[in-house]
Amino acid sequence: MRTVKKMASAATIAVFLLCCFITASTGSQADCDVYAATGSSFTVPLTHVLKDSDNLRWFQDENLIFYRRQKQVITGKNYDVDSTGSLKLTQLTKNKSGRYSPQIHRADGTSAGDLPSVRLCVLDRVQKPTVMMNCTGDKAKVSFTCNVGQNEKVKWFVDGKQVAEKGKTLMRVAKDVVNAHFSCNISNHVSSEISLPVKQDCYKPVFPETIFGISIWVLVSGGTGIVLMLILIVIIYIIKLRRKKHVRLNDERELYLQWSNQEQEQPDYYEHRYQQELPGNTRNMAENSNSPSNIPKPGICTHCGLKKDDLK
């Protein structure tokens, strides 16, 4: 019986100490005045005007880390403080977190009073997060999970726009986010990182919603304009063809008129030329077939299928 009571008491004490540790850890970071990243530098300011005759001490919590008696350094290094007496912290590590407080005594031994102290918290920079995508509910829904550490805030972005949810997991209906890009941003007091965008592959539509990166609805809505433009192009093309034909007819009409005028001025010229050019053995055939009247004269457009009446 006593053994059971002792075990219960030990368990109670352990739980109590654990709760105290968690509370102290949470409260210690919440009470920080300044945050700094590991590896960085920070200067704790001294708000008192320091004289050469003053004795300066700097404490980290209860530990003396710097002491200068007038101009002689007793604890620490000369470069630990600047010309104003402010404390310089370089290459910060987590064990340098704590409350830094100064003390100043004048040459006569009197104190300069309580001077402002600073509680510093040194944190690691956050790592670049990744987003894990999982299908749930027979691929009807999709979940996006951001790997996040302790004491890090999460923000979700869909297609570059922040959404209200702040948890490490985001749930969506798969068909509602077919082409959406999801990314998470994690941050603490000293840094911030955003993940690469991730798309769902749980739901695949039967018909594509985009063609060459353009929404199919945009193409459909713009179809009327495209048809009208094609009709306009065809009309312009037909008008140009009709103009070319009209110009060709005018040129042939002018050529015919020139030939007609020459024939009227020399009516027997073509007949006489025809008789000279006929071979002797074919003259009778030409005479029997009335060849002079059958041979086309220059005044007729034989290659274009037009009659004289068409060219008047």
- Give me the DSSP letters along 124-165: PPPPPP-EEEEEETTTTEEEEEE---TT-EEEEEETTEE-S-
User: Taking 50 as the threshold, does the pLDDT of residue 158 lie above it?
Assistant: yes
The listed range with the strongest mean pLDDT (29-38, 86-95, 145-154, 217-226) is 86-95
What's the pLDDT at 67?
97
Give tens-digit pLDDT for 230-283: 887 888 888 888 887 777 777 777 777 776 766 565 555 555 555 555 555 444
* Average pLDDT rounded to a whole number, residues 174-186: 95
What's the pLDDT at 244?
77
Contact in structure between 144 and 132 (CB atoms under 8 Å): yes
Name the DSSP letter for residue 101.
Answer: E
* Average pLDDT rounded to a whole number, residues 282-293: 48
What's the pLDDT at 4?
38
* Average pLDDT rounded to a whole number, residues 154-167: 94
User: Taking 90 as the threshold, does the pLDDT of residue 212 lie above it?
Assistant: no
* Average pLDDT rounded to a whole number, residues 167-171: 94
- % of the chain surpassing 90 pLDDT: 49
Class at the top of the CATH hierarchy for domain 130-199: mainly beta
User: Taking 50 as the threshold, does the pLDDT of residue 26 lie above it?
Assistant: no
- % of the chain surpassing 70 pLDDT: 66
Lowest mean pLDDT, pick from 125-134, 175-184, 275-284: 275-284
User: Taking 90 as the threshold, does the pLDDT of residue 191 lie above it?
Assistant: yes
Strands, DSSP E only, in 93-243?
A: 98-105, 118-123, 131-136, 141-146, 153-158, 161-162, 169-173, 182-187, 192-194, 210-211, 214-215
What's the pLDDT at 22?
38
Domain covering 34-123 assigned CATH 3.20.20.300 in the classification = no
What's the pLDDT at 8?
43
d(CA 56, CA 86): 10
What's the pLDDT at 263?
58
d(CA 228, CA 82): 78
Of 152 and 219, more confident: 152
Domain with CATH 2.60.40.10 in the chain: 34-123, 130-199
